[in-house]
Chain A
Amino acid sequence: MLTFIIRRLLTAIPTLVLISLIIFLLLDLAPGDPLADQPLSIPPEVRQKMRDALGLDSPAYIRYLLWAKQFFWVEPLYFIDWLVGTNFADGMQRIVSWQFRAPVFDIIVQRVPQTLWVVGLAYLVGVMIALPIGIISAYKQYSWFDQVGTFVSMIGFSVPPFFSGVLMIVFFAIMLPWFPSIYDTTLVVNDFESLGQQIRQMTLPVMVLALQTTAQLSRFMRASMLDNLNHDYVRTARAKGMTEKVVVLVHVLRNSLIPVVTVIALGIPSIFGGAIITEQIFKVNGLGQLLITAIYANDLPMVQTLAFIFAVLIVACNLIADMLYGLLDPRIRYD
């Protein structure tokens, strides 16, 4: 297992380097000029100095290596400094956003809590709803519950978040003014009233995101349960005189959860990607919204860093899913 993990980690490195190169080369084609919004009264030689300071005229491979050095070396050093109070990174140039004129990672750190709260909670809620639905629809296959479950998950598949989100706003924010349609980031939770407000403003985006997770996971859980319910060990367990509850919820459920857990792990990065649209609808200023504004503002260092972080998430979750599969299922041995 350990050699497998080490081998996978080693193959992940070239993948990530290649991905960062692809993102960089794609962004390198961008026609925009980061100095285009500077006043025209700046003398040309000063403008040239500004270009030099940003390193805009150096060849592409130097700019790529510079970015890579900043991402993989300078930023971790800054993190260590911040954590332990050392000063390894003094005087080193960090990745600076053209749009905010501030280090990219400082802005990302500001945005992460909103994304984690809304998206993470939505994922959790989705999983919590999906698992029981999947278990019941598999145990009572072709019952009315199963039929309704199938239909609802079909709808969850088919209704895109930009429609379900808008529908929720129409129903629960305009027609019935129960929930706010805009997520207020400046809200400080310090008493019960503000806590209630926080919960209310999170409800709609969490519902939209959870609907999608539920639709996919409940189908998967159902299929996995159905697979296991026909196995011999189920008949053995029943023959031993175990109660139906123990058979289903202990024997079958444990075995069916193995593939489901890996799917849950694989879904984590995609929920960050899908959250871009949901964050845009409900004006949650998280990572997805940051990416969109950066793309509009032609803020290439920000786009490059964010897209690469998403890629790291995908690769890492793939690795975790593989490892979980090996850990949970003793039949699978990678060595």
Chain B
Amino acid sequence: MTDVPAVVPAKPDTSGRSQWWDVWDQFKTHKGALFGAAVFLFIVLAVTIGPLLWPLEPTYIDIRSRNIGPSMAHPFGTDQLGRDILARMMAGGQVSIAVGLTAMLISVVLGAFIGVVAGFFRRLDGFLMGLTNLFLALPLLPLLLVMVMLFRETLARSFGPEMGTFILIVSAIGITSWMQTARIVRGEVLALKEREFVLAARSIGTPSRRMIIRHILPNVLSPIMVSATLGIATAIITESALSFLGLGFPPDFPTWGRLLFDAIDYLQQYPERVFWPGLAISLTVLSVNYIGDGLRDALDPRIRGR
């Protein structure tokens, strides 16, 4: 502790270094988060770029080479119809991650909106928090199952089986998972409203709309971002659970949950087939959870820079 360098006088910030560089610096120190980010990036790249490089189609049926084990031509083997499992895994990953991201977006936008409005306008607070508590008391998984069961046919007719199911599942997951975000955001907004800069902004006559966009939203961005990351994980798990119960996407449209569900029928003969989709789901969720952990530390200015 003796060779502490002399305090450098604070230079005027000319490098264009924003707070996001500080966040990144703190994020880098969290080994698990960095590793999780690398794994997540790898999975996303594998499912987006992978199909372009891999010649086999996920729906191509080659009945003569069915049920073969891992080989050079089929690294993960083939299924009961001779479809290449690697290609199906990549196609399934695209859907699973797309569902995760979209459902997270819906739930975060909804949660942040309700949280900010409830925290900012005292008149709406009672009603909106009552609504949040009501949603928290609903048995969500049964209701999700019922919703999917009821609206699948209708939406499939108007948007086609794949797109209809996608819209249905994404919106069903979105509107049943916004409550935690809303509660956290409301708490933050309530605390922010007592701060001097809000008072200052109000004293110069800032209208509510600009107040929310300019002053409130940027300050509640970090809890929103953390719950967004964790939201991806829950959305992917929920979609897989629905597919696993047979209420997800149609059979010829693979997702990771669907592949796992299909592999269960061959559990006795080919137990390795359940392994790949399950591993993909778990790895994605694990990496996203670690990213969320690191992000929480990195976005907290009290921890950052220590």
Nearest-Cβ distance from residue A207 to partner chain B, whole angstroms: 16
Bitwise, A307-335 to B at CB < 8 A (1) or not (0) is 10011001100100000000000000000
Which label, helix, strand, loop or mixed, suits the secondary structure of the B interface? Answer: helix
Residues on A close to B: CB < 8 A? 15, 18-19, 22-23, 26-27, 29-31, 154-155, 157-160, 162-163, 166-167, 169-170, 174-175, 269, 273-274, 276-277, 280, 291-292, 295-296, 303, 306-307, 310-311, 314-315, 318
Nearest-CB residue, chain A, relative to B256: A163
Output the least CB separation between B135 and chain A (Å): 9
> A179 CA to B143 CA in the complex, in Å?
33
Cβ-closest chain B residue relative to A28 = B150
CA distance A10 to B96 in the complex (A): 43
Do the beta carbons of A19 and B278 come within 8 Å of each other?
A: no
Q: Which of B140-173 contact A (CB under 8 A)?
A: 140-143, 145-147, 149-151, 153-154
Q: Give complex CA distance A78, B151 in Å.
A: 36
Distance of A322 from chain B, by nearest CB (Å): 12
Question: B282: CB under 8 A from chain A?
Answer: yes
Query: Among A31, A174, A303, A318, which residue has its beta carbon within 8 angstroms of that of B271?
Result: A174
Among the stretches B17-25, B40-48, B101-109, B284-292, the one at the interface with A is B284-292
User: Which of chain B's residues have a CB closer than 8 A to the CB of A306?
Assistant: 142
Which candidate, B65-73, B118-126, B219-227, B233-241, is the interface stretch facing chain A? B233-241
Q: Which of A31, A158, A273, A280 is the one whose CB lies under 8 Å from B142?
A: A273
Pair A19/B233 contact, Cβ less than 8 Å: no
Question: Does A167 lie within 8 Å of B143, measured CB to CB?
Answer: no
Shortest distance between the CB of A216 and any CB in chain B (Å): 12
Q: A160-B281, A169-B267, A174-B271 are in contact. Are A303 and B146 (CB under 8 A)?
A: yes
Q: Is B139 an interface residue (CB 8 A)?
A: yes
Answer yes or no: B138 CB below 8 A from chain A CBs: yes
Residues of B close to A303: CB separation below 8 A:
142, 146
Task: Please give me the residue from chain B that is nearest to A318 by CB atom.
Answer: B137
Do B245 and A163 touch across chains, with their CB atoms under 8 A apart? no
The contact size tier of chain B is: 35 or more
* B134 proximal to A (CB < 8 A): yes
Q: In the complex, what distance in Å separates the CA atom of A29 from the CA atom of B151? A: 9
A292 surroundings in chain B (CB, below 8 A): 145, 245
Interface centre among B143, B146, B268 (most CB of A within 10 A): B146
Contact A26 B134 (CB under 8 A): no
Complex CA–CA separation, A241 to B172 (angstroms): 58
Chain B residues with CB under 8 Å of A296's CB are 149
Q: Which residues of A contact B274 (CB under 8 A)?
A: 163, 166-167, 170
Chain B min CB distance to A82 (Å): 26
Cross-chain contact B285 with A160 (CB below 8 angstroms) = yes
* Interface class of chain A by DSSP: helix
B276-306: which residues lie under 8 A (CB-CB) from chain A?
Answer: 278, 281-282, 285-286, 289-290
B260 contacts A by Cβ under 8 Å: yes
| In the bound complex, CA of A158 to CA of B244 (Å) | 16
Contact of A158 among B141, B143, B151, B289 (CB under 8 A): B289
Chain A residues with CB under 8 A of B289: 154, 157-158
User: Is B245 touching A314 in the complex (CB atoms < 8 A)?
Assistant: no
Q: How far is the CB of B292 from chain A (nearest CB, A)?
A: 11
- Can you give 27 contacting A-B residue pairs, CB < 8 Å? A15-B137, A18-B134, A19-B138, A26-B147, A159-B282, A160-B281, A160-B285, A162-B241, A163-B278, A163-B281, A166-B267, A167-B275, A170-B271, A170-B275, A174-B267, A174-B268, A174-B271, A273-B139, A273-B140, A276-B245, A292-B145, A292-B245, A295-B145, A295-B149, A303-B142, A310-B139, A311-B139
Chain A residues, Cβ within 8 Å of B81: none
With A174-B271, A277-B245, A314-B139 as contacts: A166 and B260 at CB distance below 8 Å = yes
In the bound complex, CA of A19 to CA of B257 (Å): 30
* Residues B260 and A295 in contact, CB atoms below 8 Å apart: no
Would you give the 0/1 interface string for B245-283, flagging 1 where the beta carbon is closer than 8 Å to chain A? 100000000000100100010011001001100100110
Contact A158 B286, CB 8 Å, known A292-B145, A303-B146, A310-B139: yes
Identify the interface centre among B154, B233, B281, B282: most chain A CB within 10 Å of its CB. B282
- Residues from chain A with a CB closer than 8 A to the CB of B146 are 26-27, 295, 303, 307
* Alpha-carbon separation in the docked complex, A274 to B245 (Å): 13
Rounded to whole Å, the gap between the CB of B30 and the closest CB of chain A is 13
Report whether A163 and B282 are in contact in the complex, using a CB–CB cutoff of 8 Å.
yes
How close is A280's CB to chain B, nearest CB, in angstroms? 7
Is the beta-carbon distance between A160 and B143 smaller than 8 angstroms? no
Q: How far is the CB of B99 from chain A (nearest CB, A)?
A: 14
Q: How far is the CA of A311 from the CA of B139 in the complex (A)?
A: 5
B142 touches A291 (CB 8 A): yes
CB atoms of B281 and A311 under 8 A apart = no
Would A166 and B264 be within 8 Å (CB), given that A158-B233, A303-B146 are in contact?
yes
Given contacts A162-B240, A163-B260, contact A154 B286 (CB under 8 A): yes
Distance A277 CA – B289 CA, assembled complex (angstroms): 22
